[in-house]
Amino acid sequence: MKNKLSIAVVGGHIVECFDVTLYGFLAVQLAPLFFPSTEQHLQTMATFGAFSAGFLARPLGAFFFGYVGDKVGRKKPLLLSMVLVAIPTLIIGLLPSYDSIGIFAPIMLILCRLAQGFFYGGELTGASLYVIENLDKKMIGRYNGRIVSWGVMGAVIASGLAAIINLECMPSWSWRLLFLMGGVAAVVVFFLRRRFLETIDFKKIQLQKKEKVEFPWRTLLRNHKRALFLGVLVFGLTVMPLYLTTVYGNSVFLNILGYTKSQAMLLNMAAMILTAISINFFGYLADKVGFYRILVMGMISTALVSLPAFDLLNSSTVSLTDIIIFIVSMNIAGSVINGCISAYIGSFFPVQCRYSGLAFCMTFGGAILGGTTPNMAQFLKERFDSILAPGFLLMVLSIVTLVAFIHVSRRNKIYT
C-alpha cells in the first residue's frame, strides 16, 4: 500500500463507521421502543445518553488496543476491532423492545453501545496509522483526509438507509435490517484484513531492535502530557460541528421545526456528504501549505461561524435556505482540521507509543466532547431557553483549543 489506499483499510473504516453511527441516526425512532416516557424531553435525553455511551467506552478500547498496537504491531488491533464490533451490532438488530422484555431492553441496548464504542477505540487510530506509517510523508494529508472522508461516507450510507426505512411505507421493524447488515459486513471485512502486512515504521523499529517501551502510558504521561491534552481538545472539536448538525440537529428539525424523520435523515446525509468532500480538499491542501496553517485556520473559522449559524435557527419562521446555510457553514468550518489532524498530533509521539497516544486523544476527545455534544446542546438549550446556547459552547471550545494548539506547537517546535 504505497501509492493507494488498501480496500481493506477503506472498506473496514466505512463499515465500522456505519455500525457505530447508525444508532445516532435512528435515535429518535428508537426512543419510544427502548426508553418509553410520557415526557418527550426525558425520552430524548435518555436516547442521547445511550448515544453518548458508545463514546464513553472508546477510551477503554484505546487503552487496550493502543497497548496491543504498540507492543505487538498495528495489524492485530485492526483485525480484532473489526470482527468484534460485529457482535454488538448484530445483537442490537435482534434486541426485543421495552414492551417485550421490560427494563432489560434499554440495559442491553446501552451495553451494546458500550461494546461498539470499546471496539471502535482501536479502529480509527489503526486505520490512520496504517496510512501515516506506510505512505510518502509528502502525501499524508491527502491520504489521511481520504481515510477520514471515507469513514464519513460510511455514516452517509447509514443516514441514507435510515431515511429509507423511515418512509411511511416501510414496516416498523425495518430498522433492524440495517444493524444486521452492518454486523455481517464487519465479518466480511475481517477476512479481507487478514492479508494485512505490518506498517513500514513499526517494522523499522523491529529491524533496528530499538528498545521497546515496557508500558507506553508511562512514557506518554511523563513526556507528552501537553500533547495528550491538546489532542483531546482538538479531536473533540473535529466532531462537534457534525454532531450538532446531525444527531442534535435531528431533534431540532423534528421537534422544533416540524420536519419528518425521512426529511431529517436527508438533511443529515447532505451535511455528511459536504463534510466528506471538504475533508478531502483540506487534507490535500495541508500537504501544500502546511498542517499548522490549515489547523489554525480551521479553529478560527469554527469559532467565527458558531453563533451566526445557530442564529439562523433562532426564528419563528426558519426556511429551508436557513437550514442549508446552517449545515454548510458549520460543516465546512468543522472539516478544515479533520483532513490532517491525525498525522499532526501523531507526530508528537514516538513510534513505540504512537498508537496509545493517538488512540487516547481520538477517543477521549470524542467521548468527553464529541459523544456528549447532543446532551450538552439539549441541556444548554433547555437551561438558558435559547437555541443559541450550543453555538456559544462551540465558539468557546474553538478559542480554548486554538490557544492550546499554538502553545503546544511552539513548545514542541512543530509548525509543518
Rounded CA-CA distance 336/295 in Å is 7
What would the pLDDT profile of 131-148 be if each residue is shown by its tens digit? 788 777 778 888 888 888
- What pLDDT, on the 0 to 100 scale, is given for residue 55? 74
- CA distances to 44, 295, 343 from 141, rounded to whole Å, are 38, 12, 7
CB 58 within 8 A of CB 367: yes
How crowded is the C-beta side of 134, counted as CA atoms within 13 Å?
Answer: 21
What would the pLDDT profile of 3-46 be if each residue is shown by its tens digit? 445 677 777 778 878 877 788 778 777 878 887 765 666 666 77
Report the percent of the chain where pLDDT is more than 70.
Answer: 91
CB 178 within 8 A of CB 158: yes
What would the pLDDT profile of 172-211 be if each residue is shown by its tens digit? 888 899 999 988 988 888 888 777 767 777 777 766 655 5
- What pLDDT, on the 0 to 100 scale, is given for residue 3? 43
Rounded CA-CA distance 281/336 in Å is 9
Q: Cα torsion for 188, 189, 194, 195, to the nearest 10°?
A: 110
Q: Domain spanning 7-412: which CATH class is it, in words?
A: mainly alpha
- What pLDDT, on the 0 to 100 scale, is given for residue 271? 80
Q: What is the DSSP code (8-state) at residue 415? A: -
pLDDT at 1 > cutoff 60: no
Question: Which of 39, 36, 27 lies closest to 166 in space, CA to CA?
Answer: 27
pLDDT grade, residue 213 (50/70/90)?
low
Task: Measure CA of the first residue to CA of the last residue in the chain; give whole Å.
Answer: 24
| Three cell numbers, residue 212 | 521497546
- What pLDDT, on the 0 to 100 scale, is given for residue 392? 93
- What pLDDT, on the 0 to 100 scale, is given for residue 2? 45
Rounded CA-CA distance 252/378 in Å is 9
pLDDT grade, residue 317 (50/70/90)?
confident
Backbone angles phi, psi at 173, to 5 degrees: -90, 0
